[in-house]
Amino acid sequence: MRLDAVEVHLVGMPLVRSFETSFGVQTERAVLLVRVLTDEGEGWGECVAGTDPVYSSEYVGAVAGVIRDYLAPTLLGLESITAAGVDGALRYVVGHRMAKAALEAAVLDAESRAAGVSFGAVFGATRTSVECGVSVGIAPSIDALLDEVCGYVDAGYRRIKLKIKPGWDLEPVAAVRALLGADALLQVDANTAYTLADVDHLRRLDDFGLVLIEQPFVEEDVAAHAVLARAISTPVCLDESIVSTAVAVDAIDRGATSIVNIKAGRVGGYLEAVRIHDACVERGVPVWCGGMLETGIGRAANVALAALPGFTLPGDTSASDRYYADDLTEPFVLRDGHLDVPTTPGFGLEVRTDLVRAWALREPETLVHRRH
């Protein structure tokens, strides 16, 4: 395809309830969207970066800048582009995987719509629906936590994930385990909140029969996770540490993780996410699809990814109403604990451009190809 223009949109979306992790409390999401215009049609991509650089070094202001100043001009300067070629074209820019992933997704959407194929078909999906879990933030009290969890269980979610941090771990986990019963799928996510000094404390989580403990230590310290994995019986899962296929393979080989959380935005795009999936399948390591409070644009792509055969654990691909009262696409609705995998071309849904305009936080930036 020939890339004619790249638009960057910033949209403000309030959350239906505040979401607290060890990084802080979030009550709304500033969503950065990318729209590409090609000679074969348009495509949309969603960036998972947050408003501030607290989860990742990337944040929406920096993403907008690097797309405007480097990434989009590079792609617009090419005679033709494919989704598979985006990574190589942008590799000269160090890092900025979330920004690159948004552009790749938009190009992939345009490309697959023009070809009349869905993301699921492109990725190699083998299921028509995916089993869904839900991520539960840090609550103001145990009672409030149990009320929230009960609501998600009643809605049909197949797995509960609790955000934990020092001072909010053993007691809430014990309370939720007692509520759910011994056989329910329960896991915890620490978002890098602990250190190796906490190994003995984290070992006490073994009493609760958890599916996994996710990213207890800082992302750069793969060695510390290997130490923890040898010290506890709860499986250790890496999230923020996994930024590429090479890193995933290294972490597995070092015994730092026995389960991998794959987030396409974090690893630089859906095509790299598929490669990580394939590498994990080769090594017998189960994977699941993490969430970043995506709108229907990113959620549709995540659902298609989660339909690959190696995704054997319920992911954080929750229904739209888990986060938003109104979505930027037709909402995803939970049915018997599952979400349907879109089958129409591209990511599978149409963007509600009226809401993109109505909820815009600023005028969109447009970069165009300058013909010589």
How many domains, in total, are found in the chain?
2
Residues 224 and 303 in one domain: yes
265-292 pLDDT, tens digit each: 999 999 999 999 999 999 999 999 999 9
Residue 288: CA atoms inside 13 Å, Cβ hemisphere, count?
A: 25
| Angle in degrees, CA 98, 221, 278, rounded to 5 | 55
Looking at the structure, tell me whether residues 104 and 145 fall in a common domain.
no
Whether residues 108 and 125 share a domain: the answer is no
The CA distance from 346 to 85, in Å, is: 17
Same domain, 104 and 138: no
- CB count within 10 Å of CB 125 equals 22
Return all residues near 329 (Cβ < 8 A) that are at least 6 apart.
295, 296, 297, 299, 300, 349, 350, 351, 352
In this predicted model, what pLDDT tens digit does every residue of 247-257 receive, in sequence order? 999 999 999 99
Q: Is residue 335 part of a domain?
A: yes
Helix (H) or strand (E) holding 148: helix 142-155
Which CATH number goes with the domain that contains 17? 3.30.390.10
Residue pLDDT, tens place only, 179-235: 999 999 999 999 999 999 999 999 999 999 999 999 999 999 999 999 999 999 999
- Is 263 part of the annotated catalytic residue set? yes
Provide the residue count of the chain.
372
Any idea what DSSP says for residue 216? -
Mean pLDDT of the chain: 95
Flag whether 345 is in a domain. no
Q: Looking at 100, 161, 165, 263, which residue is catalytic?
A: 263
> Are 111 and 157 found together in one domain?
no
CATH number at residue 304: 3.20.20.120
Task: Clarify whether residues 357 and 305 are in a common domain.
Answer: no
Helix (H, G, I), strand (E, B) or coil at 206: helix
pTM: 0.94
Helices and strands per DSSP (H, E), number in the chain? 14, 13
Instruction: Determine, yes or no, domain membership for 95.
Output: yes
Residue with tokens 């070809």: 115
67 and 141 belong to one structural domain: no
Joined tokens for residue 306:
């989660």
In a domain, 106, yes or no: yes
Residues 222 and 293 in one domain: yes
- Provide the residue range defining the domain that includes 361: 3-116+350-368
In terms of domains, do 290 and 232 share one? Answer: yes
- Taking the C-alpha atoms of residue 152 and residue 139, their distance in angstroms, rounded to an integer, is 14
Do residues 166 and 270 share a domain?
yes
Q: Given the residues 100, 161, 163, 165, select the one marked as catalytic.
A: 163
Based on the domain organization, do 359 and 265 belong to the same domain? Answer: no
Q: How far is CA 108 from CA 1, 114, 116, 272, in A?
A: 11, 10, 12, 13
